[in-house]
Structure 1
Amino acid sequence: GFSEAVKALENKKYIVESINLASISQVPEDADVVIIAGPQREFLDAEVTALEEYLDVGGGVFIMLDPSTDPELDNLFEEWGVLVDDRLAIDDPNIGRLVGLDPWVVLVSSYGEHPITDDFSNGISLYPFARPIESETVDGIVESPLIWTNDQSWAETDLRGQLQFNEGRDRLGPLSIGVAFTRSSTVEKSDETGLDLTPIPPLPGQPPNEPVATSTSELEEQKEITLAEVIPPLPGQPPDEFDPKETVEKSENTSEEARLVVLGNSQFATNGWFQQQLNKDVFLNSVSWLGKPEEKILSISPKKNTNRRIAMKLVRARFLSWMAIVILPFLGFTIGGIIWWRRQ
């Protein structure tokens, strides 16, 4: 389960709630981030539409996909340029053998340049049963690979046979198993809206109405040529300084930005794996970045100091001291003397 991840989010003052998009048909307006962790069933069309509408208004969605699953998010992925590989990421067996890991547990120490992973340096994170996630260029969307496997890894096609690289069928690493996407919510899905507006006739004695813009391009032209009316200052007050460029820049900066993170693994955030190396930081930094707390700096969470001292009674402590200082050395000398005497 994900109880450790939920507890970590609650410690960060997040309110974690489960939602059923099939019953509510839309993401709640107060939701900062939507997390989809290891979906096992297909999403309904209404659920996919709810996610798309949530992203259209600047929401943040975190999707963690496992191999051999198809949640039917093709339309959403195509819109954002997400490419999901059905193969299984296999790590170099020699690397895993050194640290006691199986080949299907990918050991990662290479990360992309992104606020989620900036402070990771060469730190290690572990991903059991991961699938590659890549991206393609889409207008208006910026993609940033987050997690890379090593050069000796590969994407395995045959999951039932022996795990070995097969030229022509498998794909040699490095593999991307996590990508972050950003899109401005002001990006239009089509160039022309095709609005067909019916003009309203003027009232008797009034001049005819001015023509109305019927396309996005005309609306943009009107937006560019619109000038603000400067109100004259009151007597004795200095004139106001007006800079139209500054107004345009402020309006552009207030536009919301939709964010999406897709990882080819959910087990790294499950109980037992969540506390391993940088797994916790990958998860929490992704959620924090998606929630857009720009005033906060994403970093590696400090490890809590664990008290590893052994508490025991005085009698037992003296007994252990005698065992280490007197009894064990005496037994060693005795056994050595017996062996020497028998050899003589």
Structure 2
Amino acid sequence: LRTYLARGGKVFFLLDPQTKAGVPDFPNLVALIKEWGIDPGTNIVLDASGVGQMLGTGPEVPIAAKYPPHPITERFNVLTAYSLARTVTANQAGANNRFAQNLVETGPSAWGETDIKALMSSGQAAQDDNDVKGPVSLGAAVSAPVTTPADPAAAPDAPDAPKPESRVVVMGDSDFASNRWLGISGNRDLFLNSVNWLAQQENLISIRAKDPEDRRITLSADQDRRIFWITIFIIPGLILLMGIQAWWRRR
């Protein structure tokens, strides 16, 4: 991966928090990400704002509505949700002359819980001095000029192709791009915009129109019979009786 990135590669890291005790947290992968000026946290982000209740979720699903300036999140004004996420923060000091930018931030009521063992065993947590105070960043991106020449045997780029860059996007959750969560508010746009930015196709970055919802109603056999009797016999019968009554009064 290191060589691939040096030659202008693009990588999208979806880095879930480690929730099992005794399981290493991908040390080589985390070290590579830190070389690009991005720091994945060893924590689980909890959100006590209660905003997730609108989506039927709890504090284990942090909700983000703040997006620092970046082409991926330009004109972004929608909510995004992340199930069991970790903090991912741009290193303000940079690394190897690479300076990342935060992409997604929670509200101030969220924090990065560092006592993962206690959280997973008891299901309860309270913010303390050891935790990462909110608002916290859940994703970051970085680009850098190519440092290693491309393979001479490779086909040359088109004359109008953008100048090659190495690009990295890191999100502290993979579930936000899964089928279950992709339909929630801005999750799909964030994922697709990240992919388009990585591909250096900024012209495809946008806020997409929502697909029309499927509003079909499934009825049981009993409900179907009731609707049949009401619409075919009862309602027309009532109208007929009202007409007969009106005619009788006018005699």
1:52 aligns to 2:2 (yes or no): yes
User: Equivalent residue for 1:10?
Assistant: none
Report matched runs for 1:183-202 at 5 Å. Answer: 183-186=144-147
User: Secondary structure at the residue paired with 1:272?
Assistant: helix
Determine whether 1:259 maps to 2:167.
Answer: yes
CA distance in 2 between counterparts of 1:99 and 1:306 reads 16
SS at structure 2 position matched to 1:280 = helix
Using the TM superposition, give the Cα deviation of residue 141 of structure 1 relative to its aligned residue in structure 2, in angstroms. Answer: 1.8
Tell me, in whole angstroms, the C-alpha distance in 2 between the residues paired with 1:88 and 1:324.
59
User: AA paired with 2:188?
Assistant: K
The equivalent residue for 1:231 is none
Aligned with residue 92 of structure 1, among 48, 53, 57? 48
| Cα distance, 1:321–1:120 mapped onto 2, change above 3 Å | farther
Distance in 2 of aligned mates of 1:96 and 1:264: 18
Structure 1 residue 304 corresponds to structure 2 residue 211:
yes
Task: Give the TM-score, by structure 1 length.
Answer: 0.54
Residues 278-337 of structure 1, C-alpha deviation per residue, up to 9 Å, x if partnerless? 11111111111101124x23012222223535599x98755344799699xxxxxxxxxx
Classify the secondary structure of the residue corresponding to 1:70. coil
Gaps of 5+ in 1: 1-50, 189-252, 328-344
Indicate the residue corresponding to 1:273 in structure 2.
Answer: 181
C-alpha contact 1:93 1:102 (8 A) present in aligned 2: no
Verify the 8 A CA contact 2:142 2:169 in the aligned structure 1. Answer: yes
Give SS of 1:273's match.
helix
Supply the AA of the counterpart residue of 2:126: F
* Counterpart-to-counterpart distance in 2, 1:58 and 1:143: 16
**Does structure 2 retain, via aligned residues, the 8 Å contact 1:156–1:163?**
no
Partners of 1:322 and 1:154 lie apart in 2 by: 59
Give the stretch that moved more between structures: 280-289 or 175-184: 280-289
Helix, strand or coil for the counterpart of 1:90?
strand
What's 1:289 paired with?
197
TM-score, normalised via structure 2 length: 0.73
Q: Cα–Cα, structure 1 residues 76 and 307, in superposed 2: closer, same or farther, change >3 Å? A: closer
Partner deviation per Cα, 1:159-215 (whole Å, 9 max, x = no partner): 324533332221210000100101111489xxxxxxxxxxxxxxxxxxxxxxxxxxx
Cα distance between partner residues in 1 of 2:230 and 2:190: 44
Contact 1:66 1:264 in 2 (8 A): yes
Deviations 1:114-167 (A, max 9, x none): 11111322x111100000011221353231111101101111122324533332
For the pair 1:63 / 2:19, whether they are aligned, the reply is no
Q: Match of 1:128?
A: 83
Q: Is the 8 A contact 2:38 2:100 kept in 1?
A: no
Q: Does 1:174 align with 2:129?
A: no
Map residues 96-107 of structure 1 onto 2, 5 A cutoff: 96-107=52-63
Give the unaligned 5+ runs of structure 2: 19-23, 150-160, 238-251
Amino acid at match of 2:110: S
Identity over aligned pairs, percent: 34
Q: How does 1:195-234 map to 2 (within 5 A)?
A: none
CA distance in 2, matches of 1:323, 1:79: 75
Question: What does the per-residue CA deviation read over 1:17-56, in whole Å, with 9 as the maximum and x for residues that have no partner?
Answer: xxxxxxxxxxxxxxxxxxxxxxxxxxxxxxxxxx111111
Assess if the C-alpha contact under 8 Å between 1:154 and 1:165 holds in 2: no
Secondary structure at 1:96's aligned position in 2?
helix
Cα distance in 2 between the residues matched to 1:104 and 1:324: 51
Q: Is the 8 A contact 1:63 1:263 kept in 2?
A: yes
Q: Which residue of 2 aligns with 1:164?
A: 125
Residue in 1 aligned with 2:71? 115
Alignment length (residue pairs)? 211
In structure 2, the CA distance between the partners of 1:310 and 1:133, relative to structure 1 (3 Å rule), is closer
Identify the residue that residue 319 of structure 1 maps to in structure 2. Answer: 229
SS in 2 for 1:146: strand
Could you say what secondary structure the match of 1:141 adopts?
A: coil
Which of these residues, 130, 152, 155, is aligned with residue 112 of structure 2? Answer: 155
CA RMSD of aligned residues (A): 3.1
- Distance in 2 of aligned mates of 1:175 and 1:103: 14
> Structure 1 residues 109, 285: closer, same or farther in 2, change over 3 A?
same
CA–CA distance in structure 2, aligned partners of residues 56 and 106 of structure 1: 34
